[in-house]
Amino acid sequence: MNILVPLAEGFEEIEAITIIDMLRRAGHNVTTASLKNKIVTGAHSIQITAEKILTEIRFEEFGAFILPGGMPGSTNLRDHDRVMSFIQRIYAAGGIIGAVCAAPIAIGRSGILDGKKFTCFPGDEKEMTHSRFTNEDITIDGKIVTGRSAGVTALFTLKIIELIDGREKAESLQKRMFIKGEF
């Protein structure tokens, strides 16, 4: 599957790299896209070079849009109109939308989370008043997958792999990477 991972200034580095790495290990084509400049600085001053800029990409090319959290990365994603459009259009086309840590605030603003269950970094749930906060590490509602924090990013990504490829493939990757815990 073609999967898009947006990188906004202030993204959480461990979340972005874990998501990108694990999805590629599972055999997916992952494209990173920045909001403005190809060089993006994370929340802990680590710079990553994105492969594309979001304006260079068409949403039709992707079956999943997975958002790493971090601050102010998550608010930068939430406040970006093209990110909102990608979330809405990929979801409407039957694609998977994922967000971890604070990034569910972006899918909350898009409207696709209304009436759905979700989890996020504690305290950020206050922005999503039309959704049901679960307080779980990982929550899945249809094709929307949310994760609580950087500490559950590997399990969050395994849940996305399970949704795309099935439980057996996700468990195989979990075993090969010695990841502990339930997804």
Does residue 182 form part of some domain? no
Q: Render pLDDT for 60-119 as a digit per residue (tens, 0 to 9).
A: 999 999 999 999 999 999 999 999 999 999 999 999 999 999 999 999 999 999 999 999
**What is the residue-averaged pLDDT of the chain?**
97
CATH number of domain containing 129 = 3.40.50.880
Average pLDDT over residues 146-173: 98
Rounded mean pLDDT of 146-161?
98
Confirm if 119 and 133 have CB atoms less than 8 A apart.
Answer: yes
* Torsion sign across C-alpha atoms 129, 131, 133, 138: negative
pLDDT for 153 equals 98
Q: Can you spell out the DSSP letters for 70-108? A: -TTHHHHHHT-HHHHHHHHHHHHTT-EEEEETTTHHHHH
Q: What's the structural domain count of the chain?
A: 1
- Asked, for residue 183, whether it belongs to a domain, the answer is no
pLDDT of residue 16: 98
Instruction: Report the phi/psi class of residue 110: left, alpha or beta, with left for phi > 0 and alpha for psi in -120 to 50.
Output: alpha
Query: Given this model, what pLDDT does residue 106 score?
Result: 98
40 is a domain residue = yes
State the residue range of the domain holding 76: 2-177
What pLDDT sits at residue 12?
A: 98
* pTM score, whole prediction: 0.96
